[in-house]
A = this chain, B = another copy of it.
Amino acid sequence: MRSIRPVQKVVDAFEALPGIGPKSAQRLAYYLLNVPQEKLTKFAQALENLKKDTRLCAICFNVGEEEFCPVCQDETRDRTQVCVVETSLDLLAFERADGFKGVYHVLGGAVAPLAGIGPNDLRIPQLTARVKAGEIKEIILATNPNMEGEATAMYITERIKEMGLMKNLKITRIGRGLPTGADIEYADGQTLTRALEGRGEM
């Protein structure tokens, strides 16, 4: 049977999303055939307006609706402490954890030479500009604990030192070790080594 074009278009759109394979895409499209038109229109409008109605924060590059994102607008946040993350999703994860009262800087990714992403493709100049402005006392590097994230953290540290911005500034890296609820028996060697290195007093 040849494919039904209007359905195939929706299948293709879903299939282009990360983590959705051809079978799930088809299931979703056929599911939507049984949804009221009103809901489809609402979904369509939300997609159409997703980027039009949002913008990146002029300070930290988090996603928001106005010039400054909700975090940067919040006057109770500590502007001397900046948590540097790769993406807005990472920022959201910290916000959900609800333990951080400083502000953020969203890099827009991590250096990945193999994917052709160098430091200049990230918002590192914007970060050093913020540091230069003088208000920041601590930079917490919260890039992912993988090769790209580590390289990015190291690059940023070098860059800030190189620029002579270390006066009154502390650069830290998020703690490494065993995640809560983990089984030591099944933990990988790297994680255990890091957990030992990062041990704290009781």
Contacts and interface: CB of A to CB of B under 8 A. Distances in A.
A63 B6 CA distance: 10
Given A10-B46, A43-B47, A44-B45, A63 B27 contact: no
Interface residues of A, number: 52
B18 A31 contact: yes
A4 B46 contact: no
A110 to B, nearest CB: 14
A10 B89 contact: no
The oligomer's copy count stands at 2
Given A54-B7, A63-B4, A27 B89 contact: yes
A191 interface: no
A70 B30 CA distance: 16
A91 to B, nearest CB: 8
Interface in A47-71: 47-54, 63-65, 69-71
B54 A89 contact: no
Nearest to A30: B89
Which 7 A-B residue pairings sit nearest by Cβ, starting from the closest? A6-B53, A9-B46, A44-B48, A44-B44, A13-B43, A44-B47, A1-B95
A42 interface: yes
A157 interface: no
Given A4-B70, A7-B50, A13-B43, A92 B26 contact: yes
